[in-house]
Amino acid sequence: MNSFSIDGSQFKPIAIDYYPVEASKAPTIIFVHGFKGFKDWGTHHLVAHFFNTQGFNFLKFNFSHNGISIKEKENFDDLKSFGENTFSKELFDLDEVITFTLSEEAFTRPSKLFLLGHSLGGGISILQAAEDPRISKLVTWASVSRFNNLWQATQEEQWRTAGVIYTTNTRTKQQMPLNITLLEDFEHHSEKLNINNAAKSLTQPWLIIHGDKDSGVPVAQAEELHRQNSASVLKLIEDADHVFGAKHPWTESHLPDKLNKVCEITSNFFSESYL
């Protein structure tokens, strides 16, 4: 694994872990984490190793404003940046990661580039892929279908008045700020940030995977996304939650069974042998 950083939104660093395989010009998978997520969460390193064994380079990264500074791996020590994050900043970061991955000075140019987005990262990945011909295939895990599903409509009046609302991190018990700039970004760029519209315009092969017992992002959102694009493939995982049986920290040396199944289905799809 190679770890390094590049500049992201407002010149804040994007921390990157890159897992190469020996084969020259192997396809590269870019993993896009979700809301309150980070590259070193739980099973992400095992997911990277799984895809390496299947012949893929794997890249995971932290969004520049995800709340974890460059010196940390799992502690949200930069809540100021977390509060300043927006969907547009995450799109900027993802585009920078893709551009760097394909640059001559970075790695051996991959034969193909695939996006794998989880939860909120799934929504960001849909928007990116819809406008980016560099992406050959897209897989979303437990993706949101609308960004404003992340908060309650009843919170918006208080949000505008106070300039900030808070979301609880159930793992750390931190109250994590969401500045009004997040809502303003969503409203000011409503067409660009419409996930369903982007889903309709996707031309790349797209696999939607969702747990049918997901309490974080209800399965209805996966079905909504699938309805937007008749060429998409929807795969529901029976009795699976939002993270397919994983958790943080993860102390086992192997993937949970449901997540392993999800990885196998994803690998087959990326390998063009998905049925």
Quote the domain boundaries for residue 44: 2-149+192-270
- Token duo for residue 189: 């760029």
Q: Which pLDDT score, from 0 to 100, does residue 25 have?
A: 82
Q: What is the pTM of this model?
A: 0.97
According to DSSP, the β-strands at 57-61 and 28-32 are: parallel
Q: How many domains does the chain have?
A: 1
Check if the beta carbon of residue 270 is closer than 8 Å to that of residue 239.
no
Q: Which pLDDT score, from 0 to 100, does residue 273 have?
A: 53
Quick check: is 45 in a domain? Answer: yes
3-state DSSP assignment of residue 47 = helix
Quick check: is 83 in a domain? Answer: yes
242 — phi, psi (to 5°)? -65, -25
- Token duo for residue 210: 């969702």
Quick check: is 14 in a domain? Answer: yes
Quick check: is 159 in a domain? Answer: no
- Token duo for residue 233: 């493939």
Quick check: is 174 in a domain? Answer: no
Query: Per-residue pLDDT tens for 9-30?
Result: 999 999 999 999 998 889 999 9
Quick check: is 187 in a domain? Answer: no
Quick check: is 156 in a domain? Answer: no
Q: What is the CATH number of the domain that holds 222?
A: 3.40.50.1820
Q: Which pLDDT score, from 0 to 100, does residue 107 have?
A: 78
Q: Which pLDDT score, from 0 to 100, does residue 109 have?
A: 83
For tokens 């309150």, the residue is 36
Positions in the chain short of pLDDT 50: 274-275
Quick check: is 79 in a domain? Answer: yes
Check if the beta carbon of residue 13 is closer than 8 Å to that of residue 3.
no
